[in-house]
Amino acid sequence: MAQAIEGGNALLARMRRRPINSTLIGLAISFLVALLGFAWTFAPIRLDVPQIDVGALPPTTPPAAMSISAMPTGTYETPAALAFRGGSWSETRAFAASGVLVRHPKGNLLIDTGFGRNVEQQLKLLPSLQQSPHHLGTPIIDQLAKGPADKIAAIIPTHAHWDHISGVDDFHGIPVLVDDAGQRFIGSQGEGTEVLNSFHGVTYQAYHFDGGPYLGFPSSHDVYGDNSVVIVPAPGHTPDSVVVFVNLPSGKRYAFVGDLVWQMEGLTRPAEKPWMMRFLIGEDRSEIQTAIARIRAATTLYPQITAVPAHDGRAFSSIAIYPASTR
């Protein structure tokens, strides 16, 4: 014991004589610990989500003529490791940028717009970290011009980020439906609203969550009055994020979840986005976990509901691509 104490004292004495070396060692250890902690945030940890009672499947009376079509406008590349915890750094995911056309006798809706005609100029408004390599397809406005006479009555963005609203600038005079949180978020001129706020003459049409609970979500808005398209608040990714439920005459139901998760693994595993991405975006982790739990519970209890993350092209596989349609 005495020898051990003497050895320890000798080590302390050497460290006092060499304070720079000991400081460097301490910094190196701290850096290594921080690096290991950061690496852990990408580890494949299953997200622990709360148990949710989603209640009964809401009744719906969609008109027989109602249908939907997927309208892809391009993709941008992201490592799977940045898309969800447990994703591989060596795997590149092509993030879809798409809209969904909802045909309804009371007026056609567009859920998100994907890339618009001016996306290259819009990207210059973003921080360089957000300017991912991308592949442009055909903007929705041009797809519609080549197809049937499908006029758009309104646009429902799942949230105000650039890759969901880029095409709004192509639809001058078409109202963009936003709730109270959306109006505040856009009006704040905050990070994430740069592109939308660069557009001139956007017509916003306010709606309110004036309906009751819907599949575990606390409130809802019935767009047409027939429960065929129902919007629910799902803040977390952004303050204005929503989920849009679309219920078709065939009995098929879809939940367009926006960026609640970026890839299907976010729901199936479930797995949250890596900490770095959540931090950079400013996500509310608690809100995200609760919304994921609600969607997972609803799709498990009612398999006729298909959840569609906006950036996972695989999730759109059961939806016909415009001009074809799914009923």
Please give the Cα distance from 60 to 174 (Å, whole number): 27
Token digits for 61?
């009376």
19-48 pLDDT, tens digit each: 567 777 877 777 777 767 777 788 888 898
What's the confidence (pLDDT) of residue 8? 52
**104: closest CA among 306, 249, 309, 315?**
249
Q: What is the pLDDT of residues 246-263, one digit of tens each?
A: 999 999 999 999 999 999
pLDDT for 18: 56
CATH class of 67-316: alpha beta
**Does residue 297 contact residue 54 with C-beta atoms inside 8 Å?**
yes
CA-CA distance, 202 to 268, in Å (whole number)?
Answer: 37
Question: Among all chains, which residue has been given the structure tokens 């070396």?
Answer: 21
pLDDT at 14: 56
Least confident stretch, 6-20, 202-216, 263-277: 6-20
Residue 318: pLDDT above 60? yes
Q: Provide the sign of the torsion angle of the four alpha carbons 245, 284, 265, 114, taken in this order.
A: positive
Provide mean pLDDT across the span 230-252: 99
Cα-based distances in Å from 44 to 4, 15, 290, 299: 42, 40, 20, 23
Whether the per-residue pLDDT at 10 is higher than 90: the answer is no
58 DSSP β-pair partners: none
Average pLDDT for 295-309: 98
Query: What's the pLDDT at 1?
Result: 47
Instruction: Please report how the helices 19-40 and 2-17 are oriented relative to each other, as an axis angle in degrees rounded to 10.
Output: 100
**Among the listed residues 152, 65, 63, the one whose alpha carbon sits nearest the alpha carbon of residue 110:** 152
Closest CA to 246 of 52, 103, 32, 78: 103
Distance CA 159, CA 193 (A): 10
Q: What is the mean pLDDT of the chain?
A: 92
Residue 113 near residue 164, CB atoms below 8 Å: yes
d(CA 219, CA 210) in angstroms, rounded, equals 7
Encode pLDDT of 262-276 as tens digits.
999 999 999 999 999
At residue 17 the predicted structure's pLDDT band, cuts being 50, 70 and 90, is: low
Q: What is the mean pLDDT of residues 216-238?
A: 99
With contact defined as beta carbons under 8 Å apart, do 93 and 79 qualify?
yes
| pLDDT surpasses 50 at 2 | no
Contact 130, 84 (CB under 8 A): no
Alpha carbon 80 to its chain centroid, in Å, reads 15
pLDDT in tens, 137-183: 999 999 999 988 789 999 999 999 999 999 999 999 999 999 999 99
What pLDDT, on the 0 to 100 scale, is given for residue 23? 78
List helix spans (H) across the chain. Answer: 2-17, 19-40, 80-83, 119-123, 140-146, 162-165, 180-187, 194-198, 265-268, 275-281, 285-301
**Residue 213 amino acid letter:** P
Most confident listed range (1-5, 45-49, 102-106):
102-106
**Is 193 strand, coil or helix?**
coil
Two structure tokens written together for 205: 């049409």
The amino acid occupying position 277 is M
Q: Give me the mean pLDDT over the 118-147 stretch.
A: 90
Other Cβ atoms closer than 10 A to 192: 22
Cα–Cα dist 112/196, whole Å = 12
Nearest CA to 155 out of 99, 119, 110, 190 is that of 110
Which has more pLDDT, 143 or 12?
143
